[in-house]
Amino acid sequence: MKIIDDVLPKPVFREMRDFMLGKDFPWYLGDGIVYPNDGGRQLVHLFYANQMPMSNHFDFIVPFQKYLNAAALLRVKANLLLKTHEIIEHEMHVDQDIKCKVAVYYLNTNNGYTGFEDGTKIESKENRLVIFDGEIMHHGTTCSDADVRAVINFNFFEADYFRGVNKK
């Protein structure tokens, strides 16, 4: 697992955060948080899926390419959860059924976190990126000390995967 703080230069980060958490960014109601129709609701913005950009704001994810060492993207999706009275932990899961990498980028600081099967908790700290193996069970949470908890979730193949370094 790798944690990188202050990923984007401050002016770039602030512009992206302020736009994505502002009134003009297109968020869509997702039916499910971990799985479709799981009873939870969150707002989502799909940047990339099905081997193609799905958003007019795809350029927002380009600066992350150098940190990800990504040869191919599988899915890039922003998630926004509204404040709850107490932190709610969502179900443990893996994002994909195939061997890949996952990265979570935190758009705002709050008391929510990403939890892992070994008990590790990565705090939601703005402009932080955590990268881990996609086979590791993990979960997200809501927050109780900010209006929203917003992240961008990347699922991708590392460049080394295609050179056979990461194949099992």
pTM of the shown model? 0.92
Mean of per-residue pLDDT scores for the chain: 93
Positive or negative CA dihedral for 28, 153, 139, 143? Answer: negative
Q: How far apart are CA 157 and CA 73, in angstroms?
A: 6
Going by pLDDT thresholds of 50, 70 and 90, the confidence category of residue 164 is low
Model confidence over 130-155: pLDDT tens digits?
Answer: 999 999 999 999 999 999 999 999 99
Going by pLDDT thresholds of 50, 70 and 90, the confidence category of residue 162 is low
Model confidence over 10-58: pLDDT tens digits?
Answer: 999 999 999 999 999 999 999 888 878 787 899 999 999 999 999 999 9
Please name each of the domains of the chain with its CATH number. 2-162 (2.60.120.620)
Residue 92 · residue 139 · CB < 8 Å: yes
- Per-residue model confidence (pLDDT) at position 39: 78
- The single-letter code of the amino acid at 89 is E
- Per-residue model confidence (pLDDT) at position 163: 61
Q: Which residue has the higher pLDDT, 35 or 82?
A: 82
For 84-88, 104-108, 146-150, 160-164, which range has the lowest pLDDT when averaged over its residues? 160-164
